[in-house]
Amino acid sequence: MTHQIQTATQKLVGEITLNGSKSISNRVLILRALMESVFPIKGLSNAKDTTTLDRMLKNLDNPLLDAEDAGTTYRFMTAYLAYLGTNQVLMGSKRMCERPIGILVDALNELGANVYYLGREGYPPIQIQSEPKSMKGGPLKIGAGVSSQYISALLMIAPLLPQGLELELDGEIVSRPYIQMTLNLMAYFDIVYLWSGNLIKVPAQDYTPKEFQVEADWSAASYYYTLAALSDKVNLQLNGLYKDSVQGDAIIVDIMENFGILTKFNKKGVRLSKKTTPIESFEYNFTNCPDLAQTVAVLCAALDIPAHLTGLQTLTIKETDRIAALKTELEKLGAEVVCTERSLSIKKGIDFNIVPPMLETYKDHRMAMAFAPLVLKYKELNFDAKDVVNKSYPEFWNDLDKVLNT
């Protein structure tokens, strides 16, 4: 279903309570399953990825489980099922079957699991035929340059392995804050670990079940920061965000200061305001926060700010090839974009005299949400899909309408 958004304002005023963090929610669901406990999780995300994971965890008797297009869910369930000792097939969408899983499967098999491919080597779908308690743990080397989700999947089962886990991260570590998020959440449940250089040690030990409160999603907040940067006046309250967040995307606070957006923390979350800040160009390495790259790329193009964004190597294996998708959609709007497999440069900004065509989302929630703030400049925008945002932020269009049309 296509979707049209409109606005007649240049002001950004109002209050939004953001959805719970999908990244935190997915990790806590796996941790709770590993503890075989039923402690309450408050503020759990209603993102499709999270509801998919919750459904799968409640249907473990099913010999065929389908993660659909949920990448984090697929990686976490692969490790969880291998640890549990099951005989199951783990399926995914067409795009999921194009996203690599080989590094994680190799690591699990080295630890004593029995996981093999039902199709192309190194890619879903997979068959898990592990015996209960077959995984012993111990030393393991894993490539750290493709996806931090592999590492997080291994870390969460690590304390329950008889020998724990000594995980050596080989090569450049991407999305480091997501690994730290996983370790911080494990520590909340009383797990002791040591991370020194490229070695993470997690001794064998038990988790302690306890009630948990999920933070609001800083990735979701980033789209309102773009709206703020494109607005004439800003007085916007975003509820549920923490100053001392475990989310790497909280760095959006610092990034957006470059564009004149000020963040004031309060008891409910943050309040955004704006000052005039001239900026001639922008450069940033997104290795630690790749989910913010689309947001910032669109903003720089909208403000006609020459930009060079690096550390984008993981974007090619997301819901779509996000680098290619950004280039295609921005160039439809008159921008000049130069890309490599690891970077994107804005050479010329968007031409707002061009009547915007239908914007393609490529079945990628972040493509839709990153481009949506451009409605402030165009007054009306059309997208090829509406429900795509359900993957991480089902209420996005409604919340956007609240601040733009009420």
Structural domain ending residue among the three candidates 213, 247, 269: 213
Domain boundary among 213, 246, 274: 213
Backbone angles phi, psi at 215, to 5 degrees: -70, 160
Range 85-118 burial, b when 16+ CB lie within 10 A, else e? bbebbbbbbebbbebebbbbbbbbeebbbbbeee
Please give the Cα distance from 296 to 278 (Å, whole number). 16
Distance between CA 34 and CA 14 in Å, rounded?
Answer: 40
Same domain (yes/no): 241, 181? no
Q: Are residues 173 and 226 in the same domain?
A: no
Tokens 């994971």 belong to 53
Residues 298 and 256 in one domain: yes
The structure tokens listed for 7 are: 């606005």
With tokens 């690994």, the residue in question is 179
Same domain, 68 and 205: yes
114 and 246 both lie in a single domain: no
Helix (H, G, I), strand (E, B) or coil at 393: coil
291 catalytically annotated: yes
Q: Which ranges constitute the DSSP H helices of 91-162?
A: 102-110, 148-157
206 near 276, Cβ under 8 Å?
no
Q: What is the pLDDT of residues 27-78, one digit of tens each?
A: 999 999 999 999 999 999 999 999 999 999 999 999 999 999 999 999 999 9
Q: Over the chain (406 residues), what is each successive 10-residue block's mean pLDDT? A: 92 94 97 96 95 96 94 96 95 93 96 96 95 92 89 98 97 90 98 97 98 97 97 96 94 97 97 89 95 97 97 89 96 97 96 94 96 96 96 96 89
Shared domain for 178 and 219, answered yes or no, is: no
Residues 107 and 234 in one domain: no
Based on the domain organization, do 63 and 155 belong to the same domain? yes
pLDDT score of 168: 96
Residues 90 and 79: their CA atoms lie apart, in Å, by: 11
Parallel, antiparallel, or unpaired for β 126-129 and 115-117?
A: antiparallel
Among 291, 321, 364, 399, the active-site one is 291
How many angstroms separate the Cα of 355 from the Cα of each of 217, 325, 351, 374?
33, 19, 9, 12
Residue 133 has a pLDDT of 85
Query: Do 50 and 154 have their domain in common?
Result: yes
Asked if 68 and 96 sit in the same domain, the reply is yes
Q: Where are the alpha helices (DSSP H) in 16-128?
A: 22-35, 48-57, 71-84, 102-110
What does each C-alpha distance from 347 to 156, 231, 281 come to in angstroms? 42, 23, 10
Show the domain range for 276. 3-20+215-405
pTM of the model: 0.92
* Residue 156 DSSP SS3: helix
